[in-house]
Amino acid sequence: MEQDTTYGKADVVYSLNPDFSVEESVIEEIRKRSQVGFKKYGKTMTRTDLSVREWLQHALEESLDLSVYLKRVIMEMDGKIKP
């Protein structure tokens, strides 16, 4: 096994040549969403005007939205709603 020190922590060991295309795709989407958010709200995630409680509320609301999206797809896959 060869040690890959170009991605992540130096103590992570991978066999052969790892394919990070999925992770890189996620990173690119995060970058794009950051730009969209900045254009829309004029702030970055390093903003300091929210309390920890407010950050948690935002995270909860986002996860609730995700739950709805997941349930909708499951219902379509189960034939309970039409695509």
Residues 73 and 57 in one domain: yes
Residue 14 domain flag: no
pLDDT tens for each residue of 2-38: 555 555 566 777 778 889 999 999 999 999 999 999 9
Domain count, the chain: 2
**What torsion do the CA atoms of 51, 55, 58, 59 make, to the nearest 10 degrees?**
-160
Domain that holds residue 35: 21-47
Residue 75 domain flag: yes
Name the one residue in this structure whose structure tokens are 């390093």.
46
Residue 60 domain flag: yes
34, 46 Cβ separation under 8 angstroms: no
CA–CA separation, 68 and 74 (whole Å): 10
Residue 36 has a pLDDT of 97
Residues 79 and 57 in one domain: yes
Residue 16 has a pLDDT of 83
pLDDT tens for each residue of 59-79: 999 999 999 999 999 999 999
Residue 4 has a pLDDT of 55
Residue 2 domain flag: no
